[in-house]
Amino acid sequence: MTLLVTGATGFVMSVLTRRWLERNMHERAVILDAAGLDEMAKAYFAPVSNRLDVVKADVTDRRAWQALPAAHDITYAVHGATITPIANDSPGGVVMDPEAERPGRIIEVNVMGTVAALDWARTQPQLRRFIYVSSGSVYKNHGPDRTGEPLPEDGYVMPRQLYAISKFASELITERYAELFGLPIASVRLSSVYGPMDRATPTRSFRHAPNEIARKVTEGTKHVRVNSLNGIGDYIHSEDVAHAIISLLEAPSLRYSVYNIAAGTTATLADLVRWASEKSPGFQATVVPTDEADILQDDTELDGAWGAYDLARIYRDTGWKPRPVREAFHAYIDWLAGFESGGH
The answer to whether residue 229 is domain-embedded is no
179 lies in a domain? yes
What is the model's pLDDT at position 145?
86
**Residues sharing a CB contact under 8 Å with residue 41, sequence separation 6 or more, in sequence order:** 9, 14, 197
Q: Tell me if 344 is assigned to some domain.
A: no
Instruction: Examine residue 251 and state whether it is found in any structural domain, yes or no.
Output: yes
Question: What CATH number should be reported for the domain holding residue 182?
Answer: 3.40.50.720
What's the structural domain count of the chain? Answer: 1
Residue 343 confidence (pLDDT) = 59
pTM, whole model, 2 decimals?
0.94
pLDDT the model gives residue 63 = 94
Residue 94's pLDDT is what? Answer: 52
Facing residues of 74 across strands?
A: 2
CA distance 174 to 171: 5
Domain around 249? 2-202+234-264+304-324
Cβ contact 136:309 at 8 Å: yes
Q: Is residue 297 part of a domain?
A: no
The answer to whether residue 320 is domain-embedded is yes
d(CA 188, CA 261): 7
Nearest 5°: CA angle at 188, between 185 and 189? 155
Looking at residue 168, its pLDDT comes to: 98
* DSSP codes joined into one string, 218-251: HTT--EEEES-S--EE-EEEHHHHHHHHHHHHH-
In a domain, 247, yes or no: yes
The full length of the chain comes to: 344
| Per-residue pLDDT tens digits of the chain, which is 344 residues long | 899 999 999 999 999 999 999 999 999 999 999 998 999 999 999 999 999 999 999 999 999 999 887 656 899 999 999 998 865 544 345 556 778 888 999 999 999 999 999 999 999 999 999 999 999 999 998 999 888 899 999 999 999 999 999 999 999 999 999 999 999 999 999 999 999 999 877 666 677 899 999 999 999 999 999 999 999 999 999 999 999 999 999 999 999 999 999 999 999 999 999 999 999 999 999 999 999 999 998 889 889 999 999 999 999 999 999 999 999 999 999 999 987 656 56
Instruction: Flag whether 182 is in a domain.
Output: yes
pLDDT value, residue 208: 86
